[in-house]
Amino acid sequence: MRLSHPVFRLKRQARLLSREDGIPLNKALDRIAAAEGFKSWSHLAAKASPETPAGAMLAQLSPGDLVLLGARPGHGKTLLGLELLAEAAKAGRHGFFFTLDYSDADVIDRVRAIGIEPGEISSRVTLDTSDGICAAHIIAEMSAAPPNSIAVIDYLQLLDQRRQNPELAEQVAALKNFAQTTGHIVVLISQIDRAYDPGEKQLPDLSDVRLPNPVDLSLFTKSCFLHDGEVRLDAVA
């Protein structure tokens, strides 16, 4: 059955429906799926084309990459990060999701929102929602990680919120060194400044990253930006 729009656009419609109608995201996804002729969102996801933005993104990442994943709120950066981990799990790789923004229950809800039952990936994806997340914590938790592991960190601007943590620039440099030394891939989800105007350019870029504290963005090897269903992955010059 052919979809009216790509899966990532249907997810965007579901998020809007969830906010407008005040219903849980998983219910909104099921409504969208029903409109496409499927029994549920999980059924739609199982039948959809395997070429997803997350699958395409994973194929373009290399060992040692430090990736910035940015978007304005509500445009799917966290979901894309989770999809990336799910794709890695399907490929037999191990993943880590470190979040200072969501609870365990929130993450489970979002995993279900991408059409995956948490149990399907729980053996390969480690979830960490502890308050002490920072570069040193991430590096310690991944010290025994299998080769070619991938970490998604939610999110960049919260890593130095605790006074005892090093400055953000120092932490990003430490994560870059860790990725390059181990060959693991580290993805940092990032906020985008409210001044970003989609009327001026279709997608945000590095100049739109919100940086309350200075960071050398050239430390990142790749950047991925989202807006209104569009996704672009580029090498950082």
Question: DSSP string spanning 78-127?
Answer: HHHHHHHHHHHHHTT--EEEEESS--HHHHHHHHHHTT--HHHHTTTEEE
Alpha-carbon span 36 to 230, nearest angstrom: 21
Alpha-carbon span 144 to 61, nearest angstrom: 21
Has residue 1 got a pLDDT over 80? no
CA angle 11, 16, 20 (to 5 degrees): 145
pLDDT (0 to 100) of residue 201: 95
pLDDT (0 to 100) of residue 42: 83
Can the peptide bond before residue 196 be classed as cis, meaning omega within 30 degrees of 0?
Answer: no
pLDDT, tens digit, 9 for 90 and up, residues 154-202: 999 999 999 999 999 999 999 999 999 999 999 999 999 999 999 999 9
97 contacts 126 by C-beta, under 8 angstroms: yes
Task: Tell which residue, 75, 109, 107, has the closest CA to residue 190.
Answer: 75
pLDDT, tens digit, 9 for 90 and up, residues 61-102: 999 999 999 999 999 999 999 999 999 999 999 999 999 999
Token pair for residue 97? 């999701």
> Domain boundaries in the chain?
7-47, 53-235
Average pLDDT over residues 109-120: 89
Token pair for residue 200? 């001026």
Query: Which H/E stretch holds residue 168?
Result: helix 168-182
- CATH number assigned to the domain covering 53-235: 3.40.50.300
pLDDT (0 to 100) of residue 49: 56
